[in-house]
Chains A and B, each alone.
Chain A
Amino acid sequence: MGIISSGFRGRRSENPALPPGQHETQDFPVLTAGPAPLIPIDEWEFFITTENGLRLSWSWNEFLALPQEEITKDIHCVTSWSKLGTVWRGVSLDALFENVETTSDFATAHSFGGYTTNVPLWDLLGGKAWVAWEFDGEPLERAHGGPARLLVPHLYFWKSAKWIHGLELTGEDVPGFWESNGYHLHGNPWREERYS
């Protein structure tokens, strides 16, 4: 059996922007573990919960009122395609965590639709991660995670959870949907952290 990536194109390049084992694609393949949930914008929220019971949440309008950043980053899918120089708009997690006090080292990202993925907190803060709602100047398509998805471009793209609902901070690194069934807990493409 081979898992076929619909985004596979071209041969291994010597492009230094490509992590080991990756190929560049000009497309934006849709890889998804299930149906795309339909999220009415007036029911959308983004939440953060902490180990001491704090729960912060933002409605769509509150989220849009936060400082917005334009982000240009390369993205790397574990199935071997990379897309270079993608342009997004969204809110830095540093802004969302401004009033969060926590001793937790890890987070579980929860998506509408039930998908989960685990990310260490130090990979989410310090200008490394966003909640993105625009791609290439257009509202993020539902197939790509709209209304909003997590964007953690320095890790394999399964960590950039589509249809993001919120982050649950945890004391331990709890494997998410793919991490509990063969994929690496961390997922750094430059170290080829593909499998567990």
Chain B
Amino acid sequence: MNGPDNFAVPDSEDQDIAAAPHDPIPYVDGNATAGALSEVFRIDIIAALGRCRHCGSVRAFGEAMAFTDAPGIVVRCRDCHGVLLRLVETPSQYWLDLSGLSYLEIDREE
């Protein structure tokens, strides 16, 4: 778990994803979503490289910020805080929003 005080504050002028120094909201690394996301992805999305649609940053998905104390899982870009992925589980469906990722680059298994 990352503490709120080692939160990297990006230099963003976009108020919709405004920086939040000393954020009181806990979050975990994207790696922590591996179990939940393995139910909807055959691939290992944690190791995949993803491009943030909001700021263009390319990083391993596992480095992203995951907010799991919420009505669903929200994964945000570590650089701009824009939403990369949302996953909601209902009793009968998964709702998956990947619109914050412009691509995922996935290594094929040998």
Q: Return the contact of A1 from the options B24, B36, B70, B93 (Cβ within 8 A).
A: B36
Q: Is A1 touching B39 in the complex (CB atoms < 8 A)?
A: yes
- Please list the residues of chain A having a beta carbon within 8 angstroms of any beta carbon in chain B: 1-4, 6, 29-38, 78-79, 112-114, 141-143, 158, 178, 180-183, 194-195
Closest to A178 in B: B71
Q: Return the contact of B86 from the options A4, A114, A181 (Cβ within 8 A).
A: A181
Q: Is B23 touching A113 in the complex (CB atoms < 8 A)?
A: no
Counting chain B CB atoms within 10 Å of each CB, which of A32, A34, A35, A142 scores highest?
A: A35
Q: Is A195 touching B70 in the complex (CB atoms < 8 A)?
A: no
Given contacts A1-B89, A29-B69, A141-B24, 19 further A-B contacts (CB under 8 A): A1-B35, A2-B89, A3-B68, A30-B25, A30-B26, A31-B70, A32-B25, A35-B27, A35-B65, A38-B19, A38-B22, A78-B71, A113-B20, A143-B24, A178-B72, A178-B88, A181-B95, A182-B72, A195-B90
Q: Is A181 touching B97 in the complex (CB atoms < 8 A)?
A: yes
**CB-defined contacts of B95 to chain A, threshold 8 Å:** 181-182
Instruction: Report the interface size class on chain B.
Output: 35 or more
Closest to B95 in A: A182
Q: Is B97 touching A38 in the complex (CB atoms < 8 A)?
A: no
Q: Is B35 touching A3 in the complex (CB atoms < 8 A)?
A: no
**Interface bits B57-82 vs A (CB < 8 Å: 1, else 0):** 00000000101111111101000010
**CB-defined contacts of A1 to chain B, threshold 8 Å:** 35-36, 39, 89
State the majority secondary structure of interface residues on B: loop
- Please list the residues of chain B having a beta carbon within 8 angstroms of any beta carbon in chain A: 7, 15-27, 35-36, 39, 65, 67-74, 76, 81, 83, 86, 88-91, 93, 95, 97
Q: Is A3 touching B71 in the complex (CB atoms < 8 A)?
A: yes
**CB-defined contacts of A158 to chain B, threshold 8 Å:** 71
State how many angstroms separate the Cβ of A113 from the closest Cβ of chain B.
6
State the majority secondary structure of interface residues on A: loop
A78–B35 CA distance with the chains assembled, in angstroms: 22
A37–B17 CA distance with the chains assembled, in angstroms: 8
Q: Is A3 touching B67 in the complex (CB atoms < 8 A)?
A: no
Q: Name the 3 nearest CB pairs between A and B, nearest first.
A: A182-B95, A182-B88, A35-B20
29 contacts between A and B (CB under 8 A): A1-B36, A1-B89, A3-B73, A3-B89, A4-B68, A31-B71, A32-B69, A33-B70, A33-B72, A33-B83, A34-B81, A34-B83, A35-B20, A35-B81, A37-B18, A37-B20, A38-B21, A112-B15, A113-B17, A113-B18, A113-B20, A114-B17, A141-B24, A142-B24, A143-B25, A181-B72, A182-B90, A182-B95, A183-B71
Q: Is B90 touching A36 in the complex (CB atoms < 8 A)?
A: no
A114–B80 CA distance with the chains assembled, in angstroms: 13
A132–B88 CA distance with the chains assembled, in angstroms: 28
A112–B17 CA distance with the chains assembled, in angstroms: 9
A78–B69 CA distance with the chains assembled, in angstroms: 12
